[in-house]
Chains A and B, each alone.
Chain A
């Protein structure tokens, strides 16, 4: 193989690795240099010597890692050298500070998307398609049944559900990822109300970080206090891991909702046992995945996690060179 054909990113046991730059992207084991697309648990793991993130993402990472821990930040779009490569980070629209990693080496460009979405999100900068030779894309929701309704419409449904529970005199407990999804829903909720919303501790601390970084959201109150609170008619936001724990007892009679792209399918809604499912995802839906893969003009598309086989086959049938890349990223949302 000619040298200029060698891959700029390969899948290894530790994660996605760039040989000419000698760095990893979102490694799942400790490494020397880790470029992190965003601070979700399956992308940012403890133990690496050096972490590089886009500026707002670094603040969240420090919060999650519990200190500086070798974290450095760069502004979106600014090129910096790592090994023999020139790297820059660009908005991915997934959560605040999420980034695509653009790697340039000897005139060739590869882009690793990380997790991304194309819908507007008031909490983070929008995704920018980048021209590249090879595009490594996520494929979490790569089936045509996954198409997202406009977010304000869904948040309106959440608000109506909350209000109808209030009429019944019960609490509404909305489960969503404590980083990103919760703050996005809060920010979108401003269109409907400025009433205070209760949050679980895990959601609360990250909401504080978002607020410090300038994201506008309704006031939040802690639902992790010993103080007796009358939660009837209130909206409480909590991570899915809180479901079924003793922490839930304080809310008395309540209705549960879950925000996730998986809620698009009725069987999933029913299996997970929440009263309501709300289709809000921080991942790209099917049309967005196709549009994005085409927009990069990439000759080759590599796909990670989710329905990568279906998207691979679809892109191949459209004449693109596509294949799946094994990673350890989760499909939780």
Chain B
């Protein structure tokens, strides 16, 4: 694991993306296949469930270090991380470390950590102590992070994809696809990842990476968009983006958060059985009644449930509105033009059963008329319009230029929770005051504090999450793992010198908890600044103290 710990150190000590990619490439080139596969697993943000809880580790640390519990506690709170505290307190002399064998990463996980789950606690203790007593600092830290299920590395999946594409000389989009879905790290995965034919993932459930739209204000950016007839225009549905897969007689539904959610939408899975084999659709799961889409909060009531009862199926029926065809007859269609894919999609779904439908294309002829339709979006329970270049292939991730989302007012954006602190009065033992941030390059900068907007049940759920995902405590404030995305609404935006982000939002509030979105898809500071530039001209003043 020495090479991996070296990689971790390199990634941890630079913010330059080029250096990060170079460090990963170097590692991938030199690592044994099984180690490289596990490294991909970890670097792409996948996590092994925790093996041993922090309370037990703390108890062992007190016994093993010989320090009093208060001193271990004081040390942990200074360091801010139990895994690191253990590594610091247990740090072994050079002489011990030099004699410690270098066990490969894959052996560590497959032969040491995974079997630990089934061992009795005494045996777990003996194993872990033998590691603590012999490992060098960095490896001890990493093993502890793996034990507590909290190993995260500061790279985005996009950078991992870049490094892999560079090393394997396989296109990035293809690497991205091969990283999707569920896979088991090992030699065979590693060789499949770099296979030159497309026949990698034999797992029929494997989805394609979603192509994501970038925000645009078409009224202001007509010049960028050009002629109306180059664009396919649809409603921007207020549901959950989903990929519907029909392969080898089975149906699979993936959410954009890369969760397999088939069981939560049994009526869609049943309808999809009508599809021929070897078909993958991209579309939106929406709440649907009498042929009309329902507001998102209706759908939300279904998202949270793992068990879908007949009553809830009856109460909130769901519909899949398809807007793209990514695979047909087991053939990857993503390089075809939108025009061609749309034609095939319409033919395919001509007689689709209930539950499955087409996202209609809007045919009005001018941008002006579209602007009117967009302004009425709320009354249609949609979020605005989608503009898709008719000549474009289906991209990967958020590549600008071919897909735009022209969202409606009022302003809203997706932010990541960074900090939480308890409320006052009856909420003083609940974390109800939150700080949210958006991306600026590789980092997330705080932009808004919000208190209101969640239901009591959500607050309780979030409180539990915050307590178990705290990174650090600063007095009453906790910093949390930046993984939870919330849609925030606000009434106005202004430049501010008092805020690190340079902007102040008026009356920010939580519109919803976007459990379907990963943090990487939260908005950027640039997007907010663009709103600011557009709207500051309109005299949208923000009270200095309202934020």
Contacts and interface: CB of A to CB of B under 8 A. Distances in A.
B13 interface: yes
B383 interface: no
B71 interface: yes
B263 interface: no
Contacts of A150: 94
**Chain A, interface residues (CB within 8 Å), range:** 10 to 19
Interface centre among A145, A153, A265 (most CB of B within 10 A): A145
Contacts of B85: 145
A267 B80 contact: yes
B70 to A, nearest CB: 7
Contacts of B80: 265, 267
A145 B65 contact: no
Contact of B75 (A143, A153, A269, A317): A143
Interface string B63-92: 001011011001100111100110011010
Contact of A144 (B14, B65, B81, B84): B65
Interface in A139-172: 143-145, 147, 150, 153
B491 interface: no
A331 interface: no
A264 B472 CA distance: 17
Nearest to A313: B70
A264 B13 contact: no
Interface in B114-169: none
Interface centre among B74, B81, B85, B94 (most CB of A within 10 A): B74
A266 interface: yes
Contacts of A270: 12
Contacts of A310: 71, 74
Given A313-B70, A314-B71, A145 B88 contact: yes
B542 to A, nearest CB: 30
Contact of B12 (A264, A266, A314, A317): A266
Interface in A194-251: none
Given A143-B74, A145-B75, A145-B78, A266 B84 contact: yes
Contacts of A269: 13
A14 interface: no
A144 B78 contact: no
A144 B88 CA distance: 8
Interface in A270-297: 270, 275-276
A276 B65 contact: no
Contact of A267 (B14, B70, B75, B472): B472
Contacts of B78: 143, 145, 265, 307
Contacts of A307: 74, 78
Nearest to A277: B13
A147 B88 contact: yes
Given A144-B71, A144-B75, A267 B88 contact: no
Contact of A275 (B13, B65, B88, B89): B13
Contacts of B74: 143, 307, 310
Contact of B88 (A153, A264, A314): A264
Interface of B: 12-14, 65, 67-68, 70-71, 74-75, 78-81, 84-85, 88-89, 91, 94, 472
